């Protein structure tokens, strides 16, 4: 990719450095691709002036104007009448040069693009009128080739990330240059590599944009950029959380910096509870908890499991004028209307515990505590949940059952915990099968074994898999939703939390209708929402072993005490 714009072919022709035939050879290669960087703006402007406000221009790219003849590239065969009309309007001769359809789309896409505003809108296909899918690397490089400054370069990358539903942009220095990757549906994808001579400049510009100290490249830094962008013909808010990390660049081991930009869209980030991934049964139970006047709901899962989305979507669903919702978070990731959000600030003494105490003096109805990490926060949250408040919070555990021992470790009175707890939501995000390239898939014996299903239970005609297409970057998946494990705290569970063991809890759940990860995974795979590979990739290992397969009857009698098989399973899943 050249960073300097070359002299246009038209100017070279005017200076008689080349012939008209040579000019056309330079502009259009054998495959019919137009070298857009060599086109001349003036040729284009003069052409467009003749068609101002008149519309109905056939698909042509103005290539050259030479000796009163317009050389126009077109991907279609134009009728002699149409060529005549073009000549009449331009008041010149017209010569049509065949070009590739793809090349015309690229030109069309670039012609009215202004990088002054970030653009998250997909280009419209000139012939079909559909939103065009883009080859992420090709389009990013095409746009990048049109810009001159580092800030334009960064804005171009942000626009591309928005259009491709990316959640993060990674900029990593290497010997080849600055590697650019986007995280899309949880997976990192290489987009392009910026040349080594501008790598450092791009990082420095990014630090300027996010108010970081550019003189200091030895410490990690954090910053924010607030932007507006255009999507669906509307201006929308965008926050970028930027972080840098000093690292070794790969160029003779020189010190360098890696940057990661997290894109936080202010609108349309959250769906409704119905769109999160609950089954009809788990959703009914979950919405029942949200209607309770008091009690505690715990969300669990690793970073990136989507628990924040579920939490925020739920808060949005219950935020009405008649309730006071207050949160204490670290950090506040999204600003939610109708909700008072506070931010933890350890240095200023605003800890989770201090924030929670302050919130309780503010007459709240619903409280969201970002995370329970210490005894005081846990104790205060549990007491709040027992005294007329609905408390929502998160923990980091592998699955829903794992919350119980974790909570006991943190130390609030198990009696109070068991009284306060309404239920636990554990979740992971699975990618959905791409709707554009989905096709039927016949489950194999190994697939059925993994899910613990017999063929007659597996609804084999419902299974789907994506073949891979441009819309899904050939991955076969597009978008994500949660697989949810729901632990409903009924009287028996309450009793077990108070004076029982995890083994007893597992045994009880195994015998009752527990909405485990396995149950959730089976529902999504057998209805074609996602695939076996995907649930195996994201769900904890333990999710697939707990329940014996349906055709092997359980050897564990219901009344036996801690059978060794169950113990083994417990030990396995705890590891």
Instruction: Please tell me whether residue 328 binds Zn ion under the rule CB under 5 A.
Output: no
Cβ at position 447, least distance to Zn ion in Å:
21
**Closest to 525 (Cα-Cα) out of 391, 433, 418:** 433
Query: In this chain, which of 14, 122, 357, 436 binds Zn ion, going by CB under 5 A?
Result: 436
User: Which of 23-31, 120-128, 348-356, 469-477 is the region at the interface with Zn ion (rule: CB under 5 A)?
Assistant: 469-477
Half-sphere exposure of residue 488, counting CA atoms within 13 Å on the CB side? 16
Query: In this chain, which of 23, 86, 472, 529 binds Zn ion, going by CB under 5 A?
Result: 472
User: Which of 178-186, 364-372, 459-467, 520-528 is the region at the interface with Zn ion (rule: CB under 5 A)?
Assistant: 459-467
Cβ proximity to Zn ion, 290 vs 469, nearer residue = 469
Tokens of 236: 């929308």
Cβ at position 185, least distance to Zn ion in Å:
12
User: Which of 77-85, 171-179, 340-348, 436-444 is the region at the interface with Zn ion (rule: CB under 5 A)?
Assistant: 436-444
Angle 274-311-382 from CA coordinates, rounded to 5° = 130
Cβ proximity to Zn ion, 355 vs 466, nearer residue = 466
Cα-Cα-Cα-Cα torsion 226, 227, 231, 234, nearest 10 degrees, comes to 100
Instruction: Please tell me whether residue 350 binds Zn ion under the rule CB under 5 A.
Output: no
Cβ proximity to Zn ion, 468 vs 563, nearer residue = 468
Contact in structure between 358 and 349 (CB atoms under 8 Å): no
Cβ at position 530, least distance to Zn ion in Å:
14
Instruction: Please tell me whether residue 502 binds Zn ion under the rule CB under 5 A.
Output: no
Q: What crossing angle do the helices spanning 375-386 and 352-360 adopt, rounded to 10°?
A: 20
> From residue 420, how far is each of 117, 355, 379, 382, 412 by CA, in Å?
49, 20, 11, 6, 11
Tokens of 181: 């990757």
Tokens of 508: 């009880």
| SS3 per-residue string spanning 279-312 | CHHHHHHHHHHHHCCCEEEEEECCCCCCHHHHHH
Q: Which of residues 396-435 bind Zn ion (CB under 5 A)?
A: 434
Cβ at position 477, least distance to Zn ion in Å:
8
Query: Beta strands 340-343 and 325-329: pairing type?
Result: parallel
What is the spatial distance between Cα 313 and Cα 167, in angstroms, rounded to a whole number?
A: 18
Cβ proximity to Zn ion, 364 vs 466, nearer residue = 466
Tokens of 424: 């636990």
Instruction: Please tell me whether residue 110 binds Zn ion under the rule CB under 5 A.
Output: no
Tokens of 475: 């991955």
Cβ proximity to Zn ion, 400 vs 529, nearer residue = 529
Q: Give the DSSP H or E segment for 499.
A: helix 491-499
Cβ at position 189, least distance to Zn ion in Å:
14
Query: In this chain, which of 9, 191, 339, 437 binds Zn ion, going by CB under 5 A?
Result: 437
Cβ at position 470, least distance to Zn ion in Å:
8
What is the spatial distance between Cα 200 and Cα 173, in angstroms, rounded to a whole number?
A: 8
User: Which of 80-88, 149-157, 165-173, 472-480 is the region at the interface with Zn ion (rule: CB under 5 A)?
Assistant: 472-480
Cβ at position 223, least distance to Zn ion in Å:
36
Cβ proximity to Zn ion, 423 vs 476, nearer residue = 476
Cβ at position 525, least distance to Zn ion in Å:
18
Instruction: Kindly determine how many residues on this chain lie close enough to bind Zn ion according to the rule CB under 5 A.
Output: 7
Contact in structure between 527 and 459 (CB atoms under 8 Å): yes
Tokens of 97: 């040069």
Tokens of 197: 């001579």
What is the spatial distance between Cα 365 and Cα 265, in angstroms, rounded to a whole number?
A: 28
Cβ at position 184, least distance to Zn ion in Å:
13
User: Residue of minimal CB distance from Zn ion?
Assistant: 434
Cβ at position 434, least distance to Zn ion in Å:
3
Contact in structure between 484 and 515 (CB atoms under 8 Å): yes
Contact in structure between 40 and 9 (CB atoms under 8 Å): yes
Cβ proximity to Zn ion, 360 vs 469, nearer residue = 469
Contact in structure between 109 and 123 (CB atoms under 8 Å): yes
Instruction: Please tell me whether residue 118 binds Zn ion under the rule CB under 5 A.
Output: no
Cβ proximity to Zn ion, 350 vs 469, nearer residue = 469
Cβ at position 136, least distance to Zn ion in Å:
14
Cβ proximity to Zn ion, 385 vs 437, nearer residue = 437
Instruction: Please tell me whether residue 469 binds Zn ion under the rule CB under 5 A.
Output: yes
* Residue ranges in contact with Zn ion by CB under 5 A: 434, 436-437, 466, 469, 471-472
């Amino acid at each position: 990719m050249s960073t300097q714009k070359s002299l246009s072919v038209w100017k070279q022709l005017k200076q008689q450095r080349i012939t008209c035939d040579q000019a056309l050879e330079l502009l259009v290669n054998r495959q019919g691709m137009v070298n857009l960087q060599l086109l001349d703006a003036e040729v284009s402007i003069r052409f467009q002036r003749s068609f101002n406000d008149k519309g109905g221009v056939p698909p042509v790219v103005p290539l050259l104007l030479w000796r009163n003849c317009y050389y126009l590239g077109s991907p279609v065969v134009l009728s002699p009448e149409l060529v005549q009309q073009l000549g009449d309007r331009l008041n010149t001769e017209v010569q049509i040069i065949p070009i590739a359809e793809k090349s015309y789309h690229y030109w069309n896409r670039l012609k009215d693009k202004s990088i002054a505003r970030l653009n998250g809108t997909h280009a419209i296909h000139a012939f079909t009128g559909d939103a065009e899918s883009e080859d992420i690397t090709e389009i990013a490089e095409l746009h990048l080739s049109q810009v001159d400054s580092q800030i334009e370069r960064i804005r171009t990358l942000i626009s591309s990330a928005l259009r491709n539903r990316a959640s993060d942009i990674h900029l990593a220095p290497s010997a080849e240059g600055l590697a650019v990757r986007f995280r899309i549906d949880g997976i990192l994808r290489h987009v392009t590599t910026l040349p080594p001579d501008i790598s450092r400049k791009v990082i420095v510009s990014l630090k300027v944009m996010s108010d970081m100290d550019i003189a200091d490249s030895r410490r990690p830094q954090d910053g924010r950029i607030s932007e507006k962008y255009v999507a669906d013909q509307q201006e929308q808010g965008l926050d970028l959380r930027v972080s840098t990390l000093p690292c070794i660049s790969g160029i003779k081991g020189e010190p360098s910096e890696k940057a990661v930009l997290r894109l936080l869209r202010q609108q349309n980030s959250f769906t409704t509870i119905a769109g999160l991934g609950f089954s009809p049964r788990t959703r009914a139970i979950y919405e029942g908890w949200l209607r309770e006047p008091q009690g505690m709901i715990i969300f669990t899962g690793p970073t990136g499991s989507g628990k924040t989305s579920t939490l925020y979507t739920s808060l949005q669903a219950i935020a009405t004028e008649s309730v006071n919702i207050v949160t204490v978070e670290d950090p506040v990731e999204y600003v939610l209307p109708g909700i008072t959000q506070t931010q933890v600030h350890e240095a200023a003494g605003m800890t989770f515990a201090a924030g929670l105490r302050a919130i309780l003096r503010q007459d709240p109805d619903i409280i969201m505590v970002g995370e329970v990490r210490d005894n005081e926060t846990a104790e205060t949250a549990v007491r709040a949940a027992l005294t007329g408040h609905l408390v929502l919070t998160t923990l980091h555990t592998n699955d829903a059952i794992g919350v119980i021992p974790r909570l006991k470790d943190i130390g609030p009175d198990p009696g109070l915990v068991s009284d306060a707890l309404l239920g636990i939501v554990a979740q992971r995000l699975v990618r959905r099968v791409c709707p554009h390239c989905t096709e039927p898939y016949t489950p194999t014996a190994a697939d059925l074994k993994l899910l613990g299903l017999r063929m007659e239970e597996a609804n084999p005609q419902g299974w789907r898999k994506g073949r891979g297409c441009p819309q899904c970057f050939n991955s076969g998946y597009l978008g994500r939703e949660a697989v949810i494990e729901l632990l409903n705290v009924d009287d028996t569970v309450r009793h077990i939390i108070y004076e029982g063991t995890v083994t007893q809890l597992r045994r009880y759940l195994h015998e009752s209708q527990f909405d485990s990860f396995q149950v959730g995974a089976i529902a999504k795979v057998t209805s074609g929402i996602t695939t076996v590979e995907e649930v195996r990739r994201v769900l904890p290992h333990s999710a697939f072993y707990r329940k014996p397969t349906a055709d092997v009857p359980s050897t564990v009698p219901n009344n036996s005490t801690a059978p060794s098989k169950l113990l083994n399973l417990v030990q396995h899943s705890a590891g």
